[in-house]
Structure 1
Amino acid sequence: MSDVQPPRRARRRGTRAGVAAAAGLLLAACGVGADPVVNPELSDDDVTITMNWWGADARTQQTLAAIELFEQEHPTIHVEPTYSDWTGYWDRMATTTAAGDMPDVSQFDQLYLASYAERGALLDLSTVTNILDTSALGANVLDSGRVGDDLYAVPTGATSNGIIINTSLFEQYGVELPDTETWTWDDFERTSVELTEASGGEVHGVSPFGYDSFSLTVWARQHGGSVFDADGDLTLTPELLASYWQRELDFVESEAAPSVAHLSEVSGLPLDQTDLVTGKTAMAFIPAGQFTAYQSAAPDFDYDLAPWPADSDAPEGFQYLKPSMYWAAASTSEHPAEAALLIDFLTNDTRVAPLFGLDRGEPGNPAFRAALEGQLDESGEESLAFTEAMSDEVGDTPPITPNGASDIEILLTRYNQQVLFGESSPREAADAFLGELGDSITAAG
């Protein structure tokens, strides 16, 4: 974290754990606005709107700078910022939304988009097209902000999933990487084991997946399946989920990955304390948009990005561009025109591009990408180049997480722990996970 403190006007409210409990609050009650005014007009008077986001201090400083620029451009509109870490963010969001006090503009994640939209908490952005221009965003990007046929959120950008490689460690221990453009899962595991053995166990080859929905979705698509369909139904098979967790167990058994006890100890640590940053593992599965954050957190190491390993029968287009995050407005906002104007500014004003860089993913607006030319450091250029190269290989973006499934990563983490500690077999855990998640989706419907 930077030593620079946020200006006084940025209120950092207390956070607390309990995203699942917070989601329950949203299920119980939800502040819903009246039917929105179509094409609302900007007020002639001074207006104050609230804006909410999650992230580390660097993102806070970037966002405050963008707010200042917006207020200079629109001196009668004042933006009151609030922010927190990821866990506290959704806890507070559920509470304020249930009370009818959702912030006017919020940073959103696809895990929660359908849940809030289907409860009427988000503004239908088709009602503010007189102010909000989304024409610069391609359909494949913009459509990821739709729930049903209606647009409720504007994506900030998108990222693919990749393998981050600490090339410094491979050089230090004299282990040669295979061709990462064509490597198979056997190549990947063999190389990981070689790194572990060459270091005498001081370093392990890989931090495995097992608990995040992004990597699970890529795994499912690589093996001919999916997690959800366009109707919001759960399509992931227990066999496919079990194979995902079995691959993780294989990594541990071969010592390509650290021990179960160690993986449990480091679960949930902040990025700057992860094994990849501290040099205890050499590879990991990450959203490519996080590459610059890892490189910044470990400046003494050199990192590279590579595609996922794949076997010969993997279908084309199994990778996809996941929306990094979104901007959304509250249906309860008393100032929908001003909220839409702020989202339009953050989406289209190219002066925002160098402020945000790639912090919110590769920009969805091509003009933002052009504005970043010459503005990025080496790791930023590499991250952008990787995502753009992967754009030629990705398939259609899968449906967003449906209403009732927002806790998918909480459930994945819980059942993944059971698998790692031998409390359940991969198949037993898969059956239980899918049953619990399916029940949640059904109840929400």
Structure 2
Amino acid sequence: MKRTFLRAGVGIVAASLALGLAGCGLGTAGDGASTELSDEPVTIRMYWWGGDARHQRTQEVIDLFEKKHPNITVEAEFSDWNAYWEKLATSTAGKNSPDVIQMDQLYLASYADRGALADLRDLDISTKGMEESVLGMGESDGGLYAVPISTSAMATFVNTDLLDQIGVPLPDNTDSWTWDEYEAWAQSVTQAAPQGVYGGSLAQNEFMLQLFARQNGDELFADGDIAIDPETVEAFFQLALDSTKSGASAPASTWAETSGLALDQQPLSVGTVATTFATATQVSAYSQASGANLELVPIPTVKGGEKDADYFKAGMYWSVSSQSKHPAEAAALIDFFLNDPEAVKIIGTERGLPAISSTLDLIGDDLTPEESKAVAFSDSRLPFLGDAPAIVPNGASDVDAVIVRYMQDVLFERQTPADAAKGFIADITQSIASAG
């Protein structure tokens, strides 16, 4: 796997979109919309998902932007993750999409390929200092439909306070530990911990499956289609089954009850697991929710697997709706979030490590201890980075939900890992074909 150093600091939509986007322009701004800033009063809408801390910081930046652009009014809209995509699909289908959209790579191709997003190369947004490999994660079918806000590495979060309480230290080889070693260690934690507390967690989303595939020299998607070997998916599901049966992680019933909970109710947050897998920049949220000291270490790897399997995922993106009547002002707002020094300082690492690496220098002195952990961890992963993977293709936006559904069948032993792997690939293949 070719190594590329990324110095950037690091479902439910498809049906609604299919019904409503036939009339959208194909990657162009709204009908007759000017790509030049207006001197007249302009109102644009900005939509994002997240918690209270994100809402507060984002609104502060909006207020600052309006002071510097007194003729532009920004109407803020936000919601939690699930409600976000339902509302965005509905508004887009109804030709009432927000001008500026916070986008995720799970949905980027679905919106871009249906003509719901403007090609940002036609607009004035500076991406100077952003690695081409990072910027490329905002491309779909030759156009740039999203600019990465941030990037983040996947980490194993470890509650060291819990480990101290039960007297089981982290092993010395976490920089290179294998999945087998992680499971054995997690078992020892479970055995030493109070009843109902477990050492390990399960890999159960697209990011983790991508990384697991890359460790095996495989890839999840390629050329707009699913590309992973069924044996790789089988091994991924088998890993989870072995972990629950050995006691390294919680049994299937507990997993099913907790897998969809909000972050502040998840097992790591309430102290019922010692470890979990999450993007490094979530350390602030998990630390606040758990009240515990959390250490970040690499995720386990396949024994003898690829050494450059890691990558920094584009945590989120900014996009401009192709329905926007004010694309120039929408682009100006995105550019302000990415490049204005005061805006960068306000946002900090709340959405991840800034995708434009030079802006990390602007926030270095203001980082909290938790944010500094995320930066240090991401820097430690630089020697292990490979090329960024292909984004989730159009039609596969619900890949996380499909993984969880088959994972549940495996854990409750309704399907074998091999059968679940075949079913998973068949479902994603069909979803992509149906969206084509």
Could you state the TM-score of these two structures normalised by the residue count of structure 2? Answer: 0.94
Do the aligned partners of 1:33 and 1:333 also contact (CA within 8 Å) in 2?
no
Cross-structure match for 1:320: 311
Do the aligned partners of 1:140 and 1:397 also contact (CA within 8 Å) in 2?
yes
Question: In 2, Cα distance between the equivalents of 1:304 and 1:409?
Answer: 26
Residue 63 (structure 1) aligned with residue 63 (structure 2): no
Cross-structure match for 2:378: 387
Match of 1:355 among 346, 357, 381: 346
Which residues of structure 1 form unaligned runs of 5+? 1-18
SS at match of 1:49: strand
Question: In 2, Cα distance between the equivalents of 1:333 and 1:430?
Answer: 41
Cross-structure match for 2:283: 291
Do the aligned partners of 1:23 and 1:91 also contact (CA within 8 Å) in 2?
no
By how many angstroms is 1:65 displaced? 0.5
Residue 266 (structure 1) aligned with residue 258 (structure 2): yes
By how many angstroms is 1:380 displaced? 0.9
Residue 181 (structure 1) aligned with residue 175 (structure 2): yes
Do the aligned partners of 2:159 and 2:294 also contact (CA within 8 Å) in 1?
yes
SS at match of 1:193: helix
**Residues 172-194 of structure 1: CA deviation (Å, up to 9, x unaligned):** 11112212112222221111111
Cross-structure match for 2:49: 54
Cross-structure match for 2:229: 237
Question: In 2, Cα distance between the equivalents of 1:23 and 1:55?
Answer: 22
Cross-structure match for 1:413: 404
By how many angstroms is 1:368 displaced? 2.1
**Residues 160-212 of structure 1: CA deviation (Å, up to 9, x unaligned):** 111111111111111122121122222211111111111243421012123x1
Question: In 2, Cα distance between the equivalents of 1:73 and 1:200?
Answer: 56
Question: Runs in 1 of length 4+ with deviation above 3 angstroms?
Answer: 33-39
Do the aligned partners of 1:141 and 1:157 also contact (CA within 8 Å) in 2?
no
Aligned runs of 1:23-172 on 2, under 5 Å? 23-30=14-21, 31-33=23-25, 35-36=28-29, 40-128=35-123, 131-172=124-165
Question: In 1, Cα distance between the equivalents of 2:126 and 2:132?
Answer: 13
* Number of residue pairs the alignment of both structures matches: 421
By how many angstroms is 1:366 displaced? 2.3
SS at match of 2:288: helix
Which residues of structure 2 form unaligned runs of 5+? 1-10
Do the aligned partners of 1:295 and 1:302 also contact (CA within 8 Å) in 2?
yes
SS at match of 2:83: helix
Question: In 1, Cα distance between the equivalents of 2:414 and 2:53?
Answer: 40
Question: In 1, Cα distance between the equivalents of 2:179 and 2:256?
Answer: 24
Cross-structure match for 1:218: 211
Match of 2:240 among 243, 248, 251: 248
With CA pairs under 8 Å and 6+ residues apart, which has the higher RCO, 1 or 2?
Answer: 2
Do the aligned partners of 1:54 and 1:84 also contact (CA within 8 Å) in 2?
yes
Question: In 2, Cα distance between the equivalents of 1:98 and 1:39?
Answer: 23
Question: In 1, Cα distance between the equivalents of 2:34 and 2:19?
Answer: 31
Residue 336 (structure 1) aligned with residue 331 (structure 2): no
SS at match of 2:200: strand
Identity of aligned residues (%): 41
SS at match of 1:121: coil
Cross-structure match for 2:7: none
Match of 1:306 among 287, 291, 297: 297
By how many angstroms is 1:148 displaced? 2.2
1:168 and 1:45, CA in 2 relative to 1: closer, same or farther beyond 3 A? Answer: same
Question: In 2, Cα distance between the equivalents of 1:88 and 1:390?
Answer: 33
Question: In 2, Cα distance between the equivalents of 1:57 and 1:435?
Answer: 39
